[in-house]
Structure 1
């Protein structure tokens, strides 16, 4: 069966004070690998990989990647089924538009969608767009069964994890599929269908850019139940780890095949079991691999002591982040965040001593926050600055679909599932919070903005006071295009977006001059040069 998988364009916010960037679509690459191994003919249209420099204004934000028209023109007319992914709900308006355009052009071809957004909001998605099937949760086994049924034209009613339209246009939601336990048996992501070079060249990577990058997933799921997190709905609360040897094998393969030397782990909770971390570090060190790896997502602090931190550094780990979220124990309790300051600082001191780049994440304006909670967060930020970590990220709270806190806010009448709600995450790092985007009643948006800058100032004033040379290092690395910390990543990303906006204005047509690449199949790569429009 000829299956065309599509990685849609995404929104980016030119006003966002953040180092976050879109990156290679790990989930879609896993789906490509299992469908390829089942004998399907796979083609991929990657909107970001084909047009990593194309920014088109859409109101007060920008679309990054191919337009729906350009995507349609790249689809093989012989396609027999489509597969689309959507990681974040904030991109749903773009994805919805794309699905409509695909169905208008290929009305008889089934459209299958999966990913975090569709798992969190299946009813909304299938009601607003002409989707034929949704895959909920972990997608590999469900995708295999569903595309086999489509190929053989058999019933899908018995396939767990599928949502679909019945002949009378009603919605059928099958029971969820059990999680995959034997995660070592899942084939590695099929990166041969994607332009790995384009993502690295344009620094569209997760975490800090240390060189040519391929993302890694060593574990799946998270055993915790933070109220603001989508993981319990997407992955349940089961955590399964691949064997350290197999993860090291995958890294070594990409190092040899692509020349990759930077491996950000996309795991929700990579560091959970101490022995797993020790064994993995030993695997990398024994092989003598000259690579860098990092943990850009929030890392658990319980297993990081001086011995583990030293092992991380020796094996090539350069950067990790902790996620206290708040300086207030009361707020953390409301969040169900299982973390204490004692555990946090034991890990911080060990990581700093070993020479790791360390960051911390804060979520401000959580619905239960009060003045004392804000003061506690400022105090913790200052203390972390004195402790020697490198960066903090302070963003405003936003509710994600199908999370515990969102359900609570919805019951209180504070949430309406419209596009403005779904797009909230794209504005979380804006310079100023607005009243229509806050969920913390004791404060005004102006007051919350003030507290955000107090947290950031408390950290960096202490950090620069105790390590004044950092100011010159940051300035020097900015001038030379280097990244060794999150603040440097933020500065490089800000410069990149500034250049792309200027190109857009110079063209006068709302988009940039770009190099476009056609969809990728195995053993088939070529390039065309365009100004954002495909030639006949």
Structure 2
């Protein structure tokens, strides 16, 4: 069969100021595309965010090009991947597809619909089926013409009723997957020099997944629902093959390892570092990875630095032990401080990710987080508002308490988020949050951004001119709100 795979947009208001999403290639659907192609199916990938940027933010033209791309291969199946903040565009695209050809099969997948399969079908009559969990082999069954009622991992409608088949077991042999079909993506577009993937270093960068799954049970995270709790790894040799392809074909300068559990297996990590140096990748690219503070030690960090790593990323989330416990982080504040200290002493930079506004957070907890940030002084801070994601423990808790949750468009959009789950008045929380962005996050981020990009002033000034529009808009809004309170 012919299959179009679509990566949807954020809400229109958020798309106009969000500058980050356009640099991340949609590897999830690229993996699906690779499996389909390997089995003889014709596939194209349509990234609506890329279309929007290439058409000067003209939404109508992006819609027309989406339709034209589907028609270009006369698609039998249209698969739309999506997260919670993009689900409205999933519904919108499904309607466009069906209005042009009601016989086309429209399928959606991703973390959001895995958590809410039946409500997705109830909310959108234009969707025929929902792929729950990993989509490679469920989509392959669909493209091979298997009847819906025989396909594991599928929720579907039939004659006005909704049926859910048994879950599909997670496949274990990660190396049996072909490399993601990046040849179907405009990699020149994604690898433009930017500060996003390379965490404030202006490099031609891209992302890679070398593992799936996470054994931890953070109450705010929906990852294990989608990828499972058992960590499944690509072999170090397979990872080297993919990295060499990225260097040779796309001339990347930076690489971000996007999985949650990059170095949880220390034996694998050591082999990885050895191969990185053996292949001289440490001389060709800089790389970045997410780590948990409870697994790092100085030896591991020194190995990473020696093999070309320049920055790691920690989910500190809070400087309050009480909030960390409520989140189910299973880590101590002291351990986070220790990890920050040994990371800095190793010569690696680090980013600190923070979630604020978590249910039950008090002003005292908030202030502890600010003190923590000034104590550990990350090179980059990502300050995020808590967003209740379907499929998470905290989302379930809020629903059980009959607490209101925001519309899907608003989730993930700090500029449009008017819900307050913190244990303080909304106006007070909003004021603390804005003050933190202006007086803590902005100065630290801006200082290190300029410091680490002075060696390439042309790129630095180009980036300041082209990639800080969203930051400027948010800063003006924050200042306006603070002055009018």
TM-score (norm 2): 0.87
Listed one character per residue, the Cα deviations across residues 99-137 of structure 1 (whole Å, up to 9, x for unaligned) are: 101111011111122112221222232223211121110
Aligned-residue RMSD, C-alpha = 3.1
Q: CA deviation at 1:82?
A: 2.5
- Structure 2 equivalent of residue 422 of structure 1: 408
Give the distance between the partners of 2:10 and 2:360, measured in 1 at CA. Answer: 31
- Structure 1 equivalent of residue 451 of structure 2: 473
- Structure 2 equivalent of residue 35 of structure 1: 36
Q: CA deviation at 1:80?
A: 4.1
- Residue 293 and residue 156 in structure 1: after superposition, are their counterparts in 2 closer, same or farther (change >3 A)? same
Give the distance between the partners of 2:193 and 2:319, measured in 1 at CA. Answer: 35
Listed one character per residue, the Cα deviations across residues 211-268 of structure 1 (whole Å, up to 9, x for unaligned) are: 3333210110111111111112212212111111211121012211222232111102
Listed one character per residue, the Cα deviations across residues 461-514 of structure 1 (whole Å, up to 9, x for unaligned) are: 9969xxx9858627957964339xxxx989863248889xxxxxxxxxxxxxxx
Aligned pairs for 1:407-486 (under 5 A) are: 407-415=396-404, 420-428=406-414, 430=415, 436-440=418-422, 442-453=423-434, 455-456=436-437, 459=440, 470=448, 473=451, 476=454, 480-482=458-460
Give the distance between the partners of 2:198 and 2:82, measured in 1 at CA. Answer: 17
- Structure 2 equivalent of residue 399 of structure 1: 388
Secondary structure of the 1:394 match is strand
Structure 1, unaligned stretches of length 5 or more? Answer: 58-62, 500-536
Is residue 361 of structure 1 aligned with residue 353 of structure 2? yes
Secondary structure of the 2:313 match is strand
Secondary structure of the 1:227 match is coil
- Residue 174 and residue 461 in structure 1: after superposition, are their counterparts in 2 closer, same or farther (change >3 A)? closer
Give the distance between the partners of 2:132 and 2:255, measured in 1 at CA. Answer: 27
- Residue 421 and residue 216 in structure 1: after superposition, are their counterparts in 2 closer, same or farther (change >3 A)? same
Is residue 318 of structure 1 aligned with residue 304 of structure 2? no
Aligned pairs for 1:496-507 (under 5 A) are: none
- Residue 87 and residue 17 in structure 1: after superposition, are their counterparts in 2 closer, same or farther (change >3 A)? closer
- Structure 2 equivalent of residue 293 of structure 1: 287
- Structure 2 equivalent of residue 175 of structure 1: 166
Listed one character per residue, the Cα deviations across residues 142-174 of structure 1 (whole Å, up to 9, x for unaligned) are: 2222221x2xxx4221221011111x2111111
Secondary structure of the 1:395 match is strand
Determine which structure has greater relative contact order: mean sequence separation of CA pairs < 8 Å that are 6+ residues apart, divided by chain length.
1
- Residue 203 and residue 462 in structure 1: after superposition, are their counterparts in 2 closer, same or farther (change >3 A)? closer
- Residue 345 and residue 278 in structure 1: after superposition, are their counterparts in 2 closer, same or farther (change >3 A)? farther
- Residue 424 and residue 477 in structure 1: after superposition, are their counterparts in 2 closer, same or farther (change >3 A)? farther
Q: CA deviation at 1:349?
A: 1.9
When you count helix as a share of all residues, which structure comes out higher? Answer: 2
Q: CA deviation at 1:39?
A: 0.7
Q: CA deviation at 1:372?
A: 2.7
Is residue 132 of structure 1 aligned with residue 131 of structure 2? no
Equivalent pairs counted in the alignment come to 468
Q: Which moved more, 1:48-57 or 1:68-77?
A: 48-57
Give the distance between the partners of 1:211 and 1:373, measured in 2 at CA. Answer: 36
Q: Which moved more, 1:311-320 or 1:345-354?
A: 345-354
Is residue 194 of structure 1 aligned with residue 189 of structure 2? no
Aligned pairs for 1:16-55 (under 5 A) are: 23-54=24-55
Q: CA deviation at 1:408?
A: 0.9
Listed one character per residue, the Cα deviations across residues 408-434 of structure 1 (whole Å, up to 9, x for unaligned) are: 111122235xxx521223422x3xx86
Structure 2, unaligned stretches of length 5 or more? Answer: 474-485
Is residue 279 of structure 1 aligned with residue 260 of structure 2? no
